[in-house]
Structure 1
Amino acid sequence: MPKILIIAPAWIGDAIMAQPLYRRLHERYPGLVLDVLAPAWTRAVHARMPEVNETLDNPFTHGELNLRARRKLAHQLKARRYDQAIVLPNSLKSALIPWFARIPLRTGWVGEMRYGLLNDARKLDTEALPKMVERFAALAEDRNQLLQRPVPYPRLVIDAAARAAALQKAGLNADQSVIALCPGAEYGPAKRWPAHHAAALARELLAEGKQVWLFGSGKDNEIAGEIAALAPGSVNLSGKTSLAEAIDLLSLASAVVTNDSGLMHVAAALDRPSVAVYGSSSPRFTPPLSDKARIVTLALACSPCFKRTCPLGHMQCLNDLGPERVRIALADLVPELFAR
């Protein structure tokens, strides 16, 4: 029975984009046991992927070397006798544990000069594989083999009982249509649609009898609180749910309005109709992976800049993107919700 260990990304969105890789590995290796080494905060995502046998906690923070602890963890993993490790992050440190564990085949893109640590190090052709999901999925194939296309969309599986429990805990119901707003973006403010625009949209939706639920982590409390204050009647769930509960509740949304964030990828993987607002980033690299998604962007000459904060100080890419554009995209996406 083949056994593969995935060294998974730390970001929620990236973790979701790795799922097509897992699916392809199962196609190639019937009976595969696939484990994932990942930060604990991504456990809720991996728990909703049927391809994953077990999620093992990766305790190391960004930039932390701690060779002694890495050797200790590698020793524990060595006893599991994996046949292959696939390293998805491009850092040198991420390749150390499989090497310490003496996993026979260690696959990944070249990254930070990882020759030796990876004995199946591949050179990435960014033009042939422009999307992150493609770069991950391509590692399921043997060296020099073409990526199997089309790459399937990620899909998270929801447990109905867990969702009902999350709904009850939050004191909510889905009797009326729910529009989810995901106003955060951990990367930085240049990816966050301004609160006053989101609030203006929320007020319209509430006036039409729709529910508006705001999702995010505790780091999004400030912007979510501002939206809730400007749009009374909105339900602010930011920082009040676990990621597992947020995923389950988000699956109830009739539509989602989101920045380019981890929750954008969650919504897409839940097959929820989504309008994704892009500012400093580009949908060419990490688009929402769903046929039910619409991208709203001004495509200014200065964007995408991929900066955390606007280098020009005006952030026109998002400040000038008014709520009417998002409203039009929503109506196009789910016309039945906006029929007059």
Structure 2
Amino acid sequence: MSRENILIIKLGALGDFVQALGPFAAIRTHHDALDETGHAHITLLTTPAFAGLAKDSGYFDDIWDDGRTKGFGSLLSLVRRMSWAKFTRVYDLQTSSRSSMYFHLLWPRTEWSGIARGCSHPHANTRRDFMHTIDRQAEQLRDAGIADTPMPDPTRLAGSRSAVEMIGSDAPYGLMVPGAAPHRPAKRWPASHFAQVARDWAAQGIRPVILGSKSEKPLAQDIAESESTALDLAGDTSLNDIVTLALSAKMAVGNDTGPMHLISLSGTPSVALFGSDSDPALCAPRGPRVSILAGPEISAHSPDDVKSALAKLAGIT
């Protein structure tokens, strides 16, 4: 038996980070079993945006900032820090050119799971870039000796506020996520379509609750103005709050964006919308009740398509 001193590299983006919760759990379970104390020391290297979620997950003993916005000097300082820490194994779940560079700069070398040339536990599948993120990372861990990777469990991230506190009622509600990366407008389903779904939900006694970032407030307001019962929470919820809301929501619909991963993995019946700007085979939200609507043009999916998909998932007519 030995002491396990493990580093995991996972920088972002949000959807990718959420989908790494399963690998985080698998690495924790595996190395706790190997550690002479029953508790491995596991450090996460990530960006400040995800430090809070990482802490809330409970998987890590230490969280480091990768400092990628601070220049080459910061990179060298980070590599020195990694060398001094004497990690017994590194799991590079980012598998980028930058994270692979850490391996080549690190001295002395340590066990390394990733795609860096010459590493001890390579994920060598030549089709890895055509695999869904969850499947790819599970295979990477199998190649490193970790047989079982559970599905990501975001429920452990639920916030301290209740859904009733955030919404002001215990009436049934559904979640809408109309935003997406601002530099990729083709990933956004038309606001008019979301507005029609909001009206359909309201007619069924289900309150539409609109989620998004502060910058997406105008978009959320446009949808809310079309349905008087809709609640605009854009800019008013943390990522932890989104999980809390998802756990009690009747349904959800949204674009290919990070919050939809939190919602769908929480078990909410969810419809995720895709056009040609992203490939659901590689990055679609997963969960026990998820329907993916994909096609060349995201605007071609009609509100009736969403209604039908939700009916199959949740028995709603």
TM-score (norm 2): 0.85
Where does structure 1 lack aligned partners over 5 or more consecutive residues? 304-316
> Are residues 1:183 and 2:178 paired?
yes
CA distance in 2, matches of 1:175, 1:36: 38
Count of residue pairs the alignment pairs up: 306
Report the Cα distance in structure 2 between the residues aligned to 1:275 and 1:105, rounded to whole angstroms.
41
Alpha-carbon separation, structure 2, partners of 1:32 and 1:134: 25
- Structure 2, unpaired ranges of 5+: 34-38
Which has the larger helix fraction? 2
Match of 1:283 in 2: 280
In the alignment, residue 26 of structure 1 is paired with which amino acid?
R
Q: What corresponds to 2:73 in structure 1?
A: 68
Counterpart of 1:36 in structure 2 is: 44
CA contact (8 A) 2:67 2:75 kept: no
Q: Hey, what does 1:56 align to over in structure 2?
A: 64
Identity rate of aligned residues, in percent?
A: 25
- Residue aligning to 1:309: none
Q: Partner of 1:131 in structure 2?
A: 132
Structure 2 counterpart of 1:11? 13
Deviations 1:146-201 (A, max 9, x none): x847x53211134777133x753x4x235111100011111611111110000011
Query: What is the CA–CA distance in structure 2 between the aligned matches of 1:274 and 1:265, rounded to whole Å?
Result: 10
**Take 1:177 and 1:215, find their aligned partners in 2: how far apart are those partners?**
16
Change (3 A) 1:161 1:231: closer
Over 3 Å counting, the alpha-carbon distance change for 1:271 and 1:87 in structure 2 is same
The 5-angstrom pairing of residues 160-171 of structure 1 reads 162-164=160-162, 168=165, 170=166
Paired with 1:161 and 1:262, the residues of 2 have a C-alpha distance of 17
Partner of 1:269: 265
Q: Residues 87 and 48 of structure 1: is their aligned pair in 2 closer, same or farther, counting only changes over 3 Å?
A: same
The verdict on how the C-alpha distance between 1:107 and 1:40 changes in structure 2, with shifts beyond 3 A counting, is same
Instruction: Give the conservation status (yes or no) of the 8 Å contact 1:45–1:156.
Output: no
Corresponding position of 1:140: 141
In the TM superposition, 1:213-228 aligns within 5 A as 213-228=209-224
Residue aligned with 1:251, SS: helix
Which residue identity does 1:294 align to in structure 2? S
Alpha-carbon distance between aligned partners in 1 of 2:310 and 2:121, rounded to the nearest angstrom:
45
Are residue 106 (structure 1) and residue 104 (structure 2) matched?
Answer: no
Residues 78 and 167 of structure 1, relative CA distance in 2, 3 Å threshold? farther
- Distance in 2 (CA, whole Å) between partners of 1:208 and 1:95 is 52
